[in-house]
Amino acid sequence: MLQKMLIKGGVPLRGAIPISGAKNLALPSIAAALLTDQKLTLNNIPNLVDVNSAIELLNYLGVEINWASRHSLILSTNTLKTTEAPYDFVRKMRASILVLGPLTARFKKASVSLPGGCAIGARGVDLHIKALQQLGAEVELENGYIKTSAPAGLFGCDISFPFSTMTGTENTLMAAALAKGTTKLINAAMEPEVVELANLLNKMGAKIEGQGTPVITIEGVDSLHGATFDMMPDRIEAGTYAIAAAATNGEVILKNCRRDHLSSFFETMSLAGVTHEETEEGVLVKRKSDIMPVDVQTMQYPGFPTDLQAQFTTLMTICKGAASITENIFENRFMHAPELVRMGANIAIHGKTAVITGVNALKGAQVMATDLRASVSLIIAGLVAEGETAVNRLYHLDRGYENLEEKLTNCGANIKRVSVD
């Protein structure tokens, strides 16, 4: 059943928003259950479509998974039914590629469908494949599947990534954890989710050092044991609501937000005239002036996150001046721009750069979500716009935002989800 969100704009958000567990840590953590035959308990798991997709895939593989409570998962991988991750699962969620490393490392073979394209860009997985080959796996691409085999197991080595890849680093980390010998990942991704995945693996008995720096060293072990681990709060969700608070000229406390995961982002927000302050309850975000124009380049961590680019674009549509936003990570991540223009924004795209000239007000309209972060940038625009906005294709939104309308309604927003007849 298709649904849309109806939003009546103009209400400043006031209140507190609890930040859920990090989607992009939950996905690799669930895949890590494949690395051990013992129980893995994961807490603060967000209830999201993408998390359910990951659970469905692991269930299909033969992993036993139960919800111990609303946000706690218990997973056990004694024996598997199959080491094949079919196209139907992988096309729904490209992060399914994260089972490739663990299956190859523990079960010595895997057959994972190539993810295929994605709205925001080609999103290749060539670096994942090359890293596994360097660790000693035979890899064949056959009928749209990545087939790996490592009958003698994997062997540690130095792996240099030509550029930083988040899930590429995560896949390789998990594979190297069970390899014979030591692996060094050079030019490794440094995102907090990668650091936390390494910390989870260490809790399971892995020997990993250097996470959060460009060089991660993994001393392989024979096996990993069970563990209990809490997901960190979702830094992209927190940044999203910080932008919504600023855009609506409200005052919002982000509960259990890790400010240190968002330092580059909050620095940019300060330049835009938005303050953030650590309080007992969480990080208090509010405007100190009009929204000022700030030029942004999206970069790998610790730079400005590409996953907050669409949301920040919305903020700049009402700035006092003109700002440029350059998307350096993905080739096609401005699909929200034409939709914002339909709401009265003034945005011109030149290659990788969007030039946004601030307008006095956005006007409500029917708009179309195209991908996860674009969908929430349109919700924020609706919260700001005069009149009513309808955001269609909400399935994009539900992949990554838990209880969004409840969290916004609790801060005074006039927002409701309706079925599209």
Three-class DSSP category at 394: coil
Residue 154 tokens read as 């994997």
- Residues 285-314 touching ligand EPZ, rule: CB under 6 A, are 300, 306-307
Q: What is the dihedral of CA 404, 410, 414, 416, to 10 degrees?
A: 40
Q: Is 114 or 245 the residue whose CB approaches ligand EPZ more closely? A: 114
Size of the residue set binding ligand EPZ (CB under 6 A): 23
Q: Catalytic residue positions? A: 118
**Pairing mode, strands 414-419 and 3-8:** antiparallel
Distances (CA, A) of 315 to 74, 216, 248: 40, 36, 9
Query: Min. distance of Cβ 333 from ligand EPZ in angstroms?
Result: 8
Binding to ligand EPZ, residues 382-411 (CB under 6 A): 400
Which of 55, 63, 125, 208 is close enough to bind ligand EPZ by CB under 6 A? 125
* Site membership for ligand EPZ, residue 27 (CB under 6 A): yes
**Alpha carbons 207 and 198: distance in angstroms, whole number:** 9
Min separation Cβ 120 and ligand EPZ, Å: 7
Q: State the Cα–Cα distance between residues 28 and 51, nearest whole angstrom.
A: 10
Contact window for ligand EPZ (CB under 6 A) among 117-125, 197-205, 312-320, 356-364 = 117-125
Q: If binding is defined by CB under 6 A, does position 15 make contact with ligand EPZ? A: no
Of residues 24 and 148, the one with the C-beta less far from ligand EPZ = 24
User: Does residue 128 belong to the site contacting ligand EPZ (CB under 6 A)?
Assistant: yes
Nearer to ligand EPZ, 160 or 223 (CB): 160
- Based on CB atoms, which residue is closest to ligand EPZ, 299 or 361? 299
Alpha helices in 272-362 (DSSP H): 309-316, 336-342
The one among 95, 185, 316, 408 contacting ligand EPZ by CB under 6 A: 95
Yes or no: say if 306 and 327 are a contact pair by the CB < 8 Å rule. Answer: yes
Binding segment for ligand EPZ (CB under 6 A), chosen from 122-130, 138-146, 257-265, 268-276, is 122-130
- Rounded to whole angstroms, the Cα distance separating 359 from 322 reads 9
Determine if 168 is a binding residue for ligand EPZ (CB under 6 A). yes
How many DSSP H helices and E strands does the chain contain? 13, 24
One-letter amino acid identity for 254? Answer: L
Q: Token pair for residue 153?
A: 């197991």
Q: Is 208 an interacting residue with respect to ligand EPZ (CB under 6 A)?
A: no
Residue number with CB closer to ligand EPZ (68 or 122): 122
The contact mask relative to ligand EPZ for 326-365 (x = CB under 6 A, - = no) is ---xx-----------------------------------
A 10 A CB-CB count for 20 gives 25
Contacts of 315 (CB under 8 A, 6+ apart): 243, 246, 247, 272, 291, 380
- The residues binding ligand EPZ (CB under 6 A) are 24, 27, 95, 121-128, 165-168, 300, 306-307, 329-330, 372-373, 400
